[in-house]
Structure 1
Amino acid sequence: MPRALPDLSHQALFPIRPLAFETNASFLERLARAHRLTTTELLDGLRIRRPKISPDRQRIHGPHAPTELYLNASARTRVSQYTGIPEAHLAHALPCWQGHQDRGPATATRPGGTMRPSDLPAVTGCPHCTIARTGQTRPVLRYLPHQHLVCGRHRTWALGPHTLQDMTVPHTHVLLHKTPEIVLAHHAHLRLVRRWGPDADEAITQAAGLTEHWRRHAPKAERIWPARARLIGNGKDTSMWEVLAREAITYPETITLAGLLVRRPSARYHRTRPGQPHPFHEVVARSLNRRWLQDPTYYPEDLSHFIRHTPRHPDHPTAYRHHTKPTPGHRPDTIELTQLGYQPPPPQTTSRRQRAR
């Protein structure tokens, strides 16, 4: 027999507060789970039509919410009334809360919505902070700004979901207990954002592109970045961690370089011929304590080539992620991990004896 439709005309017995930057789908799932319902049953009980599922689109490279739930104005009002949380508070905490585009008054007044992938980078928040704030061990998917990927209290870095051969890589966070310089860089990152705002965002974006370029083409004399990968991975699968945690590995140098760029904006846009030295190269080498960066061959012809603008979070203009849209069919994470020989865990199969039971 089909399960009876729950009566949700009254206010929620177990009010659930959204976490900052949480996805709509995660918030509604937690709300439903608190009342021992599925998300579909919750929406049915609120008399909200089941959202339409939009076809999957080409996603921007990087971690993204697999599926986001967008509700129209009428549906958002019903959820707000049920939870007892004003819509203004929900819109402030949930970046995509008002992401549904109502087409005409009929669409806005009929409670419903759509399900489709989000264009904003999404990661699972710090597991320790999630337990403290929700009382549950289940991960919470959030659109965390880049400066909040590091949890200084619990020394973790949120990686975000990565897949290989359509299977999730079993690592969602980096442990930073053996790399205190990354945590210190996180505090410097926060100071840069508070002082310089969007200028710091642009400088960090460019600095991240440069340090990633250097990581890929660093000479054998470079020892710090491979050492960080070993510390992060606790001496295991170093090559894999160099790919998964590449932003974390170069993060201290990225923030140092960004501080240099934001204070010398004219240096960011200089043009030189390939192989031609520039005073800025010497300044960078001295600031990062790497002599090999005096060599102009490690720099692009135009530093502004590394500036990449990506979609930003609504109401949070300094939130960014320096992933770029790849060419069709190109999946950098998958290609790199495959070349490293990473094998996802084999699917669990059921033996004949177990099936017979």
Structure 2
Amino acid sequence: MAPLRGELTLSFLNRLAARYHLGLRDLLAAITETDGRQNVAGMLHPDSEIHLNAQARERVCALSRVPAAVLEGALPAWTRAEPHAHYPGGPAGRLTRGEEAVAPWGPACPACCAARTGRRVPARRYLTTGERVCARHWYWLLFLPGTSGLPVPLGRCPEGIEAQRRHARLLRRSPAGAQAFEVARAITGSWWDQPWPNEEHLWLARLEATRPAGADAGWWKVAARDLITYPETVVLARLLADRTVQERTVTESRRHLPYRLGELPGLLAEFADQLGRPWLTHHLATVTHGPLFTWAHSCVRAPTAPAPATQKTLWAVHSAHRPRPLSDLLPRAPAADGTPPAAEPARRLRGHSLQAERAFTQGLAHARAYYKEHRHLAVPKEDTPPTIRWASGSPTPAHATPACPPTKPPPSPRCTRGGTRPGARCGSAPGTKPAITPKPTARSSRPAASPPPATASANGSTCSAPATPPSTPNNNASSPRSASMPRRRPPPDPDDATSRPAPKKPSPAPAPTPPHTAAWPP
């Protein structure tokens, strides 16, 4: 049995099982059997793909009677991975699921598949962006997660067939056609997610013309996103890839980065005319973000950048601008007994972060609440919190200021041994030079005496007086050194202890006040 070009490996095995009148699970058990045990990892779903090791591939070649070289040329995933077996020493396979695990795929055209195989058995193929439409039989090959795909007839939507022909012509003539189509798909996807204007009638007509019988309108609007926007996507891709349009955009911007799309009226007028929507110019004039605005920015900056970097930034699509995968948007079908499906845990999808989206939604809600209350978004910049605090430990109100504002400290950052910064203290006379307490040296190893107790000012605040060096019997008033640096007191003479009066005990010093901070009463 010959395979289809670009067919999924599991789709080929499904058709092979139908030829032998077997179920797919029975055929997988025969291909991967090791000592009576099935050696397949993963769960089997309608949208799954399988990777086989060398021994399992040999069994498939024997059952299908097709050479390995033919299968390798027709099946893209035939030798893509070499899965590890649960039970070593035999054939093995690994099942993967979804569009995120394998390349984009879709259902094969039923008429083409029947003409090629002689049987009406559904098949699935890997599809590129230009192969979603079967121009011969007028089918749109729609990917649906959790199913084997849905071929949608385009008899009532002829613009899809014409768009496919223009798309194929663009891919042949423009080297950047495929990249421009991805940017255009992101643009139309962003328009699709926004509320549609009242002037939009084409998309509504296509939705009604292509909706299958019995399908829910809301479900079909989510599933048919790429189908409905396909004609506009092809038109935008042709305009974005046109070198003339790029040059006119640069000339119109005068090589200045635009703040909004309204600064490029020629570009918007060209888009509105080619898309057949004259009202589009007014709706896009205030846009300051999104994939189209990003492309315009990159287009203006392109002439000043090197060629490789230009092509990379011009056609780059940010992860936040990519269309969301259908597996995250489509609701899960209820069970057979009518039980609603259980909510799946939040997970990070390819190119998207649910945590970032929730944080953005929360920040947007806060911004709207602030604007509703203040009628603007000019949030004042927060200053550095004051160092003044209440005695109880609570922060000081913004309007509270110290009674004795500290003077500006000297530029020297050195601190004394007591932990205070040298400089003027609260209560010192203006215009006087503050006394600097020197750093203890080897000659003067003992620290200076504790500062005198703080005195209360007239307004109730306590301010510390400048520290003075302790007086000793050997102080020399005429020496300039004794005025600024304290000398070490000599040891007392035991013979003269009785004749000399006992030294006066110093009063206990209070806790040192932090520098440049006034102590407030509780």
Q: TM-score, normalised by structure 1?
A: 0.70
> Paired residue for 1:70, among 51, 54, 63?
51
1:252-292 deviation line (CA, Å, top 9, x unaligned): 11111111111238479995324542132222122212222
Residues 1:208 and 2:185 are matched in the alignment: yes
Kindly tell me: are residues 307 and 24 of structure 1, through their superposed partners in 2, closer, same or farther at Cα, counting changes over 3 Å?
Answer: same
CA-to-aligned-CA distance 1:174-195 (integer Å, 9 cap, x gap): 2211111110111111122223
- Return the alpha-carbon distance in structure 2 between the equivalents of residues 260 and 195 of structure 1: 13
Q: Secondary structure at the match of 2:274?
A: helix
Match of 1:111 in 2: 91
Find the counterpart in structure 2 of residue 355 from structure 1. Answer: none
Q: Deviations over 1:70-122 (max 9, x none)?
A: 11123223322443323232122111111223679x97x74222222242223
Contact 1:185 1:255 in 2 (8 A): yes
Give the Cα separation in 2 of the matches to 1:309 and 1:202. 13
Q: Please give the secondary structure, in 1, of the residue aligned with 2:156.
A: coil
Q: Residue 251 of structure 1 aligns with which residue?
A: 230
Aligned to 2:77, the other structure's residue is in SS state coil
Where does residue 302 of structure 1 map in the other structure? 294
The 3 A distance-change label for structure 1 pair 233 and 73 is: same
SS in structure 1 opposite 2:5?
coil
Q: Is 1:288 aligned to 2:266, yes or no?
A: no
Give the 3 Å change call, closer, same or farther, for CA 259–289 of structure 1 in structure 2: same
**Which secondary structure does the structure 1 equivalent of 2:279 belong to?**
helix
Q: CA deviation at 1:346?
A: 7.5
Gaps of 5+ in 1: 1-15, 57-63, 311-321, 339-343, 350-357
Query: Is the 8 Å Cα contact of residues 51 and 115 (structure 1) preserved in structure 2?
Result: no
Gap change, CA 1:275 and 1:35, over 3 Å in 2: closer
Partner of 2:104: 121
Please give the per-residue CA displacement for 1:39-94, whole angstroms capped at 9, x wherever unaligned.
444455557543432379xxxxxxx9632111112322332244332323212211
The 1-side partners of 2:77 and 2:177 are apart by 24
Q: In 1, distance between residues paired with 2:197 and 2:25?
A: 54
**Would the alpha carbon gap of residues 332 and 173 (structure 1) be closer, same or farther in structure 2, given more than 3 Å must change?**
same
* Equivalent-residue separation in structure 2 for 1:309 and 1:113 (angstroms): 35
1:3 — aligned with what? none
Amino acid of the structure 2 residue aligned with 1:208: R
Structure 1 pair 261/275, CA: closer, same or farther in 2 (3 Å)? closer
* Equivalenced residues, count: 297
- 1 or 2, which has the higher helix percentage? 1
Instruction: Tell me which of 237, 243, 258 is aligned to 1:272.
Output: 258
Q: Could you say which residue in structure 2 is the equivalent of 1:144? A: 127
Q: SS in structure 1 opposite 2:94?
A: strand
For residues 187-218 of structure 1, the C-alpha deviation after alignment (integer angstroms, 9 at most, x for no partner) is 11112222335x21111111111112223333
Write the mapping of 1:82-231 to structure 2, written as runs, cut at 5 A: 82-101=63-82, 110-117=90-97, 118-162=101-145, 172-197=150-175, 199-217=176-194, 218-231=196-209
Q: Distance in 2 between matches of 1:154 and 1:286?
A: 31
* Alpha-carbon separation, structure 2, partners of 1:172 and 1:156: 10
| Larger RCO of the pair (alpha carbons < 8 Å, separation 6+) | 1
Aligned counterparts of 2:139 and 2:77: Cα–Cα separation in 1: 25
Look up the match of 2:21: 36
Q: How far apart, in 2, do the equivalents of 1:292 and 1:307 lie?
A: 28
CA–CA distance in structure 2, aligned partners of residues 302 and 323 of structure 1: 15
SS of residue matched to 1:291: coil
Find the residue that maps to 1:69 and give its secondary structure. strand
CA distance 1:202–1:24, change in 2 (3 Å): same
SS at match of 2:171: helix
Shifted more, 175-184 versus 78-87: the winner is 78-87
Provide the secondary structure at the position in 2 that maps to 1:215. helix
| One-letter amino acid matched to 2:274 | S
Q: 1:290-347: per-residue Cα shift (whole Å, max 9, x none)? A: 222223235633137995489xxxxxxxxxxx65569xxx92222xxx9xxxxx6873
Equivalent of residue 79 in structure 1, options 54, 60, 81: 60
Contact 1:65 1:120 in 2 (8 A): no
How far 1:24 sits from its partner (Å)?
0.8
Coordinate RMSD, CA, aligned: 3.7
Structure with greater Cα Rg: 2
Contact 1:124 1:139 in 2 (8 A): yes
Q: Contact 2:55 / 2:90 at 8 angstroms: preserved in 1?
A: yes
2:237 and 2:49 map into 1 onto residues whose CA distance is 33
Measure the CA separation in 2 of the matches of 1:29 and 1:235.
27
TM-score (structure 2 length as normaliser): 0.50
Structure 1 vs Structure 2: percent identity of aligned residues? 31
Determine the C-alpha separation between the residues in 1 that align with 2:62 and 2:133.
34
Q: Secondary structure at the match of 1:220?
A: coil
* 1:52 alignment counterpart: 40
Residue type at the aligned position of 1:101: E
User: Which position in structure 1 is the counterpart of 2:482?
Assistant: none
